[in-house]
Amino acid sequence: MNFHRWYVSFAVLIVVIGVGATACQSVPEPQVTTMEEYASENAVYDSDIPPVDEIEAYDDDAIPVDENVASDSDAIPVDKNVAYDDDAIPVDEIEAFVAEEMAQIEQATFSIDGENMPMVSSGVEDNTLTLDFAGGLVEFAFNEEVESATVEATVLYGQIAGGVFDVVDEFYGEVDINWEDEGWQVVGTVESDDGDTRDLDLLFNNAFLGAGTTKLVVDDTQAVLTGLLGTRSYTQMQEMIEQHPEVETLVLQDVPGSINDTINVHTGRLVRNAGLDTYVPANGLTASGGTDLLLAGVERIVEEGATIGVHTWCCEDDLQAWELPDDHPAHNDLITYSNEMLGSDIGRDFYFYTIKAATFDEMHNMSSEELLMFNVATDILSAAEVGGIP
């Protein structure tokens, strides 16, 4: 599978564990501030990419929002999807694919001194892979193409108080990372300044790396989503739709991207097929694959002040999406998804707009005009109009 919206490099391994005398009673929230650096201003365009204002003008033939609703007859029905010459997952295979991925995710294990620490999510940010387990975090940078390496490790013990991780003890040492049949095995011993030691044993695989970090909380007729989208996001959305038919609106509070776009488009189809609206509050953020999920709403409401980010994906043959020919098959999956969600009049144009808006390591925050031009938002609410989420 292609992990289009994230990449990692091998440097040093840092293990951060929020465990203290009472740590198992307090599990830290997954970090979902990937896009914090660009949340208040647009990213600078890469000089090699045509600026947005030089891309084909849409002003003359822009389709008014009220004339291109979600049920537009030009939109491609989900059951009409075709098999592509890329790594897209056909609709009739997604359930089996997700089931297999979830089975592999459950194989991931982590222990300290032989005590199992159940892991619940994973994500990549700033070239660092984070494994979230019951009681803390494991963080390290690595290259999945490197089969064997020895790296420095740090273990931090502490507890969370007032949202701040308070370190009470630190351990340092070397650990070995090796590729095994089941995945990556990380084994080593770390030592404190007082001479105490801790034995670390970690096993994780590609499926776990694609699990995502999302949390979905149901509140009356709303379901509030935070975190990086992945395989778990699909199962969370599916369970929410089945178990909570009262939910009408998916609130995208802080969704900075997707670990795997091939899964994410199917998560979006779950949302559309369930007839849910999507909503981004004034203090909300969607970016990259999170913005793709925004498209899935039947009605797509954005409050003024919300951050809606887009950029290109990477990589296919070491090229970013905007560097590939327009007819390259690697574009097909996201073009088809955009057509399904926005209608074929706008979907394709929106997709190519996004991949030319910013490089994969930058982000362009869409203006209100752009949100309406591409029908990403069916309505933008001012502060005066906001009286609570519908």
For 203-255, write each residue's pLDDT tens digit: 988 898 888 889 999 999 999 999 999 999 999 999 999 999 999 999 999 99
Look at residue 134 in the predicted model and tell me its pLDDT: 66
CATH architecture for the domain at 52-95+211-381: Alpha-Beta Complex (3.90)
The Cα 111–Cα 231 span in angstroms is 24
**Separation of CA 34 from chain center:** 10
The Cα 195–Cα 221 span in angstroms is 54
Could you tell me where the beta strands, DSSP code E, fall in 119-230? 119-125, 128-133, 136-140, 148-161, 164-180, 183-192, 197-204, 215-219, 222-226
Look at residue 383 in the predicted model and tell me its pLDDT: 79
Question: What is the full DSSP assignment across 307-372?
Answer: EEEE---EEETTEEGGGS-TT-GGGHHHHHHHHHHH-TTTHHHHHHHHHHHS-TTS-EEPPHHHHH
Look at residue 387 in the predicted model and tell me its pLDDT: 64
Q: Where are the domains of the chain?
A: 13-30+108-204, 52-95+211-381
Q: Could you tell me the mean pLDDT of each successive run of 10 residues in the chain, 390 residues long?
A: 38 39 32 33 35 38 35 35 55 93 90 85 65 70 75 74 72 87 88 94 88 93 95 96 98 94 95 98 96 98 96 81 85 92 94 90 94 96 72
